[in-house]
Amino acid sequence: MMAMNIERFVSEGKGNGLRALRELKAGEVIHSCEPYAFCIAKDFLKTACHSCLQRGESLSRCSQCKTARYCSVQCQKQAWPDHKRECKCLKRLQPRIPTDSVRLLTRIIFKLLAQSESDQEDLYSIAEHQSHLADMSEEKKEGLRQLCTTLQLYLGEENHDLSQLPPGLDPISLLARVTCNCFSISDGELQDVGVGLYPSMSLLNHDCQPNCVMIFEGKRLTLRAVRLIRPCEELTISYTDILATSKERRSHLQEQYHFLCQCTRCTTEDKDCDMLAGEKTAWRSLRDAIPHLEQLQSEQRWEELLKESQALLHRYTDVVPDRNIYVLRLLDLAMDACISLDDYETALEYGNRALEPYKLYYSDPHPSRAVELLRVGKLQHFLGRLEEARGSFTQAYDIMKVTHGTDHVLTNEVRRKLSECQAELGQV
């Protein structure tokens, strides 16, 4: 059921959108829903439950496909209606596992086939979703055709059912709709553990300084206001990482979602000068080194990552300030490596340097800044710097009251940390 505080409307120059029907306060829950369909992200196939998306050490495998994994019998039972037909497909393609978008689309197709049109309660149906096929480059369309071939292999003999899909919903246009409209489902550490389709939420348009944020608990999505929203004001979220220059954000949005961002931040090139502060040739070398460093991070080659990121930081710190987004990215990578190598003192040094720039770029309450403060707070706490830790946890808590709400597991964790700090400070 859609709450009565929002409605669908046509937003000038943007097509369909959602707007507030009444005044909404910062931190207020605007909408909360389960996905129409979802699937686990490829990187977490073996490490997270395919039903509740919690990460776990000892997950049990589906005896049929040996691919789906669950943290409990209840989770396995609950997942079965969505997994039943998919299970056969997974078995057929072994050991290959299709991409997230193909697995998600297959679940959507099975659901569409099993469901009558009248079951749809959302403000926005899949048939209405934009495919943007006409705006796509030939290269992108070719990519979709290749995914379509995988889809057909994956579906096997169930392929003939595709003809029973509602008119206009052929596999290519469905794939295009899925890639433009699905959301990454992130966990408490902001890792993308899954991908899902939440039809009504696809109506939300983008802004580089949005007034709403989406937070997940498992696969449940909650939309909250991050500042005061006036009646009739359009609701927006950010589709892209805002730690990027207006040029980078615009080209990513154009490529992935097929529109030119006309938000205030993009049109005024807001904070671009800060993001690219420092000597140009120096930050360019940093920027160009990042893909390789991220590769080391994903392969968990921590010693190499630390050595290389430290060398770069050491070499360029005099000429490029910490608020430069490439230095900031490097600080996060170096901090990650230090934590994995148990060098908490150095990790804290890098974490502290990143805090001011984070504050500059995330001026509204934002989950990324809360998670950064939480990471720094934990390091300070571990190293016995209780006053500092209390400060970091308090700041994280103040943000999360708005972005996550007071009942979210992560907010509870911060509250617990904060009272531990208080208690230890009381004893000193």
- Which residues, in sequence order, are CB contacts of 201 under 8 Å at separation 6+? 31, 33, 183, 214, 221, 223
Query: Measured from the CB atom, is 55 or 359 closer to Zn ion?
Result: 55
Least Å distance between CB 264 and Zn ion? 8
- 25 or 77: CB nearest Zn ion: 77
Q: How many helices (H) and strands (E) does the chain have?
A: 14, 12
Q: Contact residues for Zn ion (CB under 5 A)?
A: 49, 51-52, 62, 64-65, 68, 71, 75, 87, 208, 261, 263, 266
- Write down the least CB distance from residue 186 to Zn ion, Å: 17
Nearer to Zn ion, 80 or 344 (CB): 80
Shortest Å, Cβ 244 to Zn ion? 10
What is the DSSP track for 400-418? HHHHT-TTSHHHHHHHHHH
Of the two residues 264 and 412, which places its CB atom closer to Zn ion in the complex? 264
Choose between 84 and 292: whose C-beta lies nearer to Zn ion. Answer: 84
Residue whose CB is less far from Zn ion, 70 or 316? 70
Q: Which helix (H) or strand (E) holds 222?
A: strand 220-225
Token pair in block for residue 90: 């997974």
Least distance from Zn ion to the Cβ atom of residue 119, Å: 25
Rank residues 68 and 109 by Cβ distance to Zn ion and give the closer one.
Answer: 68
Give percent helix, percent strand, percent coil of the chain, each to the nearest 5.
55, 15, 35
Residue 367 CB, nearest distance to Zn ion (Å)? Answer: 19
Determine the Cα–Cα distance for residues 420 and 428; give it in Å rounded to an integer.
Answer: 13
Cβ 91 to Zn ion, closest distance in Å? 7
Query: Whole-number minimum distance, CB 258 to Zn ion, in Å?
Result: 14
Query: Looking at beta carbons only, is 87 or 334 nearer to Zn ion?
Result: 87
Burial label for 26, CB within 10 Å (0-12, 13-18, 19+), is: middle
As measured in angstroms, the least distance from the Cβ of 72 to Zn ion is 6
Alpha helix (H) residue ranges in 115-238? 138-155, 171-181
Which residues, other chains included, contact 392 with Cβ-Cβ below 8 Å and sequence gap of 6+?
373, 374, 376, 377, 380
We find the least distance from the C-beta atom of residue 419 to Zn ion, in angstroms, to be 29
3-state secondary structure string across 352-399: HHHHHHHHHHCCCCCHHHHHHHHHHHHHHHHCCCHHHHHHHHHHHHHH
Say how many C-beta atoms besides its own lie within 10 A of residue 375's C-beta.
21
Our CB check for Zn ion shows the closer of 265 and 415 to be: 265
Whether the Cβ atoms of residue 376 and residue 348 lie closer than 8 Å to each other:
yes
